[in-house]
């Protein structure tokens, strides 16, 4: 418990350090001043935060970042030094009373409704609805977008990797060194875990978010040993008898015996590598998982299997000492071929020396892996139990940003619409509710936006669902289940629905994904999920559109 306390404190410190009101675009503050100066202090507004297109050429998105948004609201406050900075930075003729106003500003009058974190979500359905005084709702824009955009993108990316990998393969996030700086790395670890990864290599993420951390050793560990003499000690106590064993002698003898099975002579294998693996096995006799490709160099037209031979020798030596090795990691080359080769070798050793557990050693692969690599490996056939994924996961290589936007939809009770030359960018005006309608088989059928004044759709009752912009696209739906997508999370200056712990958000991702039909989730040419508006909302949008779009003149 004392440790949990420390962890939360550390996270709070991090949050308070960076996620603060000044983490925003300057124009939020200049707009705030213009509003204040124009006497719009008492105006109230409704903003929707939503995205327009699913990332990664897919047809779904995972919503994440809500907990961090709530912490931001909780801590929203301009410090004296913030105010001092703004006084220096804004033009000199700003009225001093405005800074007094900012100094007292908090989120006490804000109401935040949101979809549950970890849910599958779709274009145009607001993820957050922010209501309250115009100035403060506007001031929240950039920070909320920053917190939701990357979190949701990462969680979605991770969930996609989880789907293509299948249930029987473990996934580890190894991306810290390629992330967008320190906090990009931490966020990547957190939201990969939420999206369905099993662990991370990032120790600080493990500490802060209680995520399982994993890792063994690098190539440099192997190259730091040159000969067997570099091993200052090779003693290991037997797991049960506590008798002293000499791991080096045992391993050298096993390497000799193994050359009959593995078809590599001990002279071809690297002694430095053997020393390194023995050193690692001494340190982690119950957790011996070794990187085996340091000297696996295709020197002419064949494969030198130094690593595999040395690994098996040390694993068998450990077995003599009462320990079972865990497995190997491959970090280069043809992962399908090499993993099958390694598995075959393990089978041969298992049979030859009557050690059935050798069949089930873990094979970890980790080299520039992305969704396509995994799909291709599945097609070729492989024997990999676990993927370690770095760059492509944490940078979201296939699409490095989610385009959430934050749009004004109502002011002082009056709906607002943002028109655009591009119909896809027209906003859906007014204070709305969102419902997910399910079919009899439990699958989600459609998301429906309605005006908040309308009654909720009911189970067993026919609902007319319309495409928001295309008049002829309409469908009747009779839902077997109706889910109201919004809960109020923040009201009257405090969190009123507590966000769920990380592990529950992680479970929510999988349970929410299970409600989607397979063709919507598939990697290639997925079917779009439908998002509709009620007949009332349809009419409302189009009347407002006509009012706001003046008739032009052809010239």
Stretch 227-286 residues interacting with its own copies (CB under 8 A): 230-233, 267-268, 270, 279-280, 282-286
Give the residue with the Cβ less far from its own copies, 260 or 551: 551
Choosing from 1, 3, 260, 524, the residue that interacts with its own copies (CB under 8 A) is 3
Biggest alpha carbon–alpha carbon distance for the chain: 97
Give the residue with the Cβ less far from its own copies, 168 or 220: 220
Enumerate residues 6+ apart whose C-beta is below 8 A from 548.
417, 419
Query: Which residues pair with residue 59 across a beta bridge?
Result: none
CB of 102 to its own copies, least distance (A): 12
Enumerate residues 6+ apart whose C-beta is below 8 A from 454.
433, 534, 536, 537
Q: What is the dihedral of CA 109, 114, 116, 119, to 10 degrees?
A: -160
Taking CB under 8 A as the rule, does residue 77 contact its own copies?
Answer: no
Enumerate residues 6+ apart whose C-beta is below 8 A from 183.
14, 18
Distance of CA 290 to CAs 108, 212, 217, 293, 542, Å?
Answer: 54, 19, 7, 9, 64
Taking CB under 8 A as the rule, does residue 19 contact its own copies?
Answer: yes
Q: Rounded distance, CA 291 to CA 288, Å?
A: 10
Taking CB under 8 A as the rule, does residue 17 contact its own copies?
Answer: yes
**What beta strand segments (E) does 207-331 contain?**
235-237, 244-246, 289-291, 327-330
Give the residue with the Cβ less far from its own copies, 368 or 492: 368
Choosing from 83, 204, 478, 495, the residue that interacts with its own copies (CB under 8 A) is 204
Choosing from 8, 53, 85, 243, the residue that interacts with its own copies (CB under 8 A) is 85
H-run or E-run covering 87: helix 80-89
Choosing from 54, 113, 157, 202, the residue that interacts with its own copies (CB under 8 A) is 202
* Contact (Cβ atoms closer than 8 angstroms) between residue 173 and residue 393: yes
Give the residue with the Cβ less far from its own copies, 334 or 385: 334
CB of 96 to its own copies, least distance (A): 14
| Candidate segments 120-128, 204-212, 448-456, 480-488, binder of its own copies by CB under 8 A | 204-212
Choosing from 241, 337, 360, 419, the residue that interacts with its own copies (CB under 8 A) is 419
| Candidate segments 311-319, 356-364, 370-378, 411-419, binder of its own copies by CB under 8 A | 411-419
CB of 28 to its own copies, least distance (A): 8
Taking CB under 8 A as the rule, does residue 216 contact its own copies?
Answer: yes
How many residues make contact with its own copies (CB under 8 A)? 141
Q: Rounded distance, CA 188 to CA 158, Å?
A: 9
Collapsed DSSP state (helix, strand, coil) of residue 408: strand
Which residues, 322 to 361, sit near its own copies by CB under 8 A? 332-333
Give the residue with the Cβ less far from its own copies, 421 or 525: 421
CB of 292 to its own copies, least distance (A): 14
Which residues, 28 to 67, sit near its own copies by CB under 8 A? 28-31, 33-35, 37-40, 43, 45, 47
Q: Rounded distance, CA 323 to CA 489, Å?
A: 51
* Contact (Cβ atoms closer than 8 angstroms) between residue 474 and residue 466: yes
Choosing from 75, 106, 362, 391, the residue that interacts with its own copies (CB under 8 A) is 391
Query: Which residues pair with residue 131 across a beta bridge?
Result: 46, 111
Choosing from 363, 417, 477, 513, the residue that interacts with its own copies (CB under 8 A) is 417
CB of 473 to its own copies, least distance (A): 22
Enumerate residues 6+ apart whose C-beta is below 8 A from 12.
71
Choosing from 54, 157, 192, 294, the residue that interacts with its own copies (CB under 8 A) is 294
Taking CB under 8 A as the rule, does residue 432 contact its own copies?
Answer: no
Taking CB under 8 A as the rule, does residue 133 contact its own copies?
Answer: no
Q: Which of 419, 486, 410 is nearest to 125 (CA)?
A: 486
Q: Sketch the per residue contact string, 474 through 513, with its own copies: x for CB under 8 A, - otherwise.
A: ----------------------------------------
Collapsed DSSP state (helix, strand, coil) of residue 16: helix
């Amino acid at each position: 418990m004392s440790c949990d306390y420390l962890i939360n404190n550390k996270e709070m410190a991090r949050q308070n350090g960076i996620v603060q009101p000044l983490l925003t675009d300057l124009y939020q503050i200049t707009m705030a001043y213009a509003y204040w100066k124009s006497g719009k202090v008492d105006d109230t507004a409704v903003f929707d935060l939503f995205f327009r297109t699913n990332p990664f050429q897919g047809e779904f998105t995972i919503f994440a970042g809500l907990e961090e948004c709530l912490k931001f609201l909780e801590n929203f406050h301009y410090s004296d030094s913030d105010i001092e900075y703004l006084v220096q930075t804004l033009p000199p003729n700003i009225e001093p009373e405005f800074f007094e106003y900012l100094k007292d500003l908090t989120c006490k009058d804000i109401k935040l409704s949101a979809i549950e974190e970890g849910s599958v979500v779709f274009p145009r359905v607001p993820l957050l609805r922010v209501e309250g005084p115009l100035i403060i709702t506007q001031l929240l824009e950039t920070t909320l977008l920053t917190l939701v955009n990357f979190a949701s993108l990462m969680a979605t990316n991770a969930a996609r990797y989880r789907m293509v990998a299948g249930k029987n393969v473990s996934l580890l996030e190894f991306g810290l060194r390629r992330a967008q700086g320190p906090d990009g790395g931490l966020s990547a670890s957190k939201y990969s875990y939420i999206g369905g990864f099993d662990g991370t290599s990032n120790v600080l993420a493990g500490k802060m978010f209680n995520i399982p951390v994993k890792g063994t050793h690098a190539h440099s560990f192997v190259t730091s040993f040159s000969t067997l003499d570099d091993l200052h000690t090779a003693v290991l106590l037997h797991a049960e008898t506590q008798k002293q064993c000499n791991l080096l002698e045992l391993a050298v003898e096993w390497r000799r015996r193994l050359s009959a099975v593995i078809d590599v002579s001990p002279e071809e294998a690297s002694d430095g590598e053997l020393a390194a693996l023995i050193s690692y096995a001494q340190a982690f006799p119950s957790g011996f998982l070794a990187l085996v490709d340091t000297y696996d160099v295709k020197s002419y037209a064949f494969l030198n299997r130094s690593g595999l031979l040395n690994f098996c020798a040390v694993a068998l030596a450990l077995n003599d000492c009462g320990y079972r090795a865990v497995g190997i990691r491959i970090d280069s080359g043809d992962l399908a071929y090499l993993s099958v080769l390694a598995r075959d070798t393990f089978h041969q050793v298992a049979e030859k020396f009557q050690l059935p557990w050798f069949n089930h050693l873990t094979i970890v692969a980790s080299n520039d892996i992305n969704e396509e690599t995994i799909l291709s490996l599945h097609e070729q056939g492989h024997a990999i139990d676990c993927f370690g994924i770095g760059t492509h996961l944490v940078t979201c290589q296939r699409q490095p940003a989610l385009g959430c936007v934050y749009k004004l939809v109502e002011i002082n009770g009056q709906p607002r619409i943002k028109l655009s030359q591009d119909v896809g960018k027209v906003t859906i005006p007014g204070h709305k509710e969102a419902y997910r309608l399910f079919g009899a088989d439990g699958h989600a059928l459609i998301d429906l936006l309605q005006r908040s004044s309308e009654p909720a759709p009911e189970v067993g009752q026919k609902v007319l669902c319309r495409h928001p912009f295309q008049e002829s696209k309409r469908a009747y739906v009779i839902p077997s289940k109706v889910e109201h997508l919004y809960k109020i999370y923040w009201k009257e200056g405090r969190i009123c629905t507590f966000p769920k712990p990380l592990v529950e958000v992680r479970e929510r991702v999988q349970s929410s994904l299970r409600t989607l039909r397979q063709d919507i989730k598939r990697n290639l040419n997925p079917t779009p999920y439908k998002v509709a508006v009620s007949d009332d909302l349809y009419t409302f949008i189009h009347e407002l559109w006509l009012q706001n779009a003046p008739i032009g003149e052809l010239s």
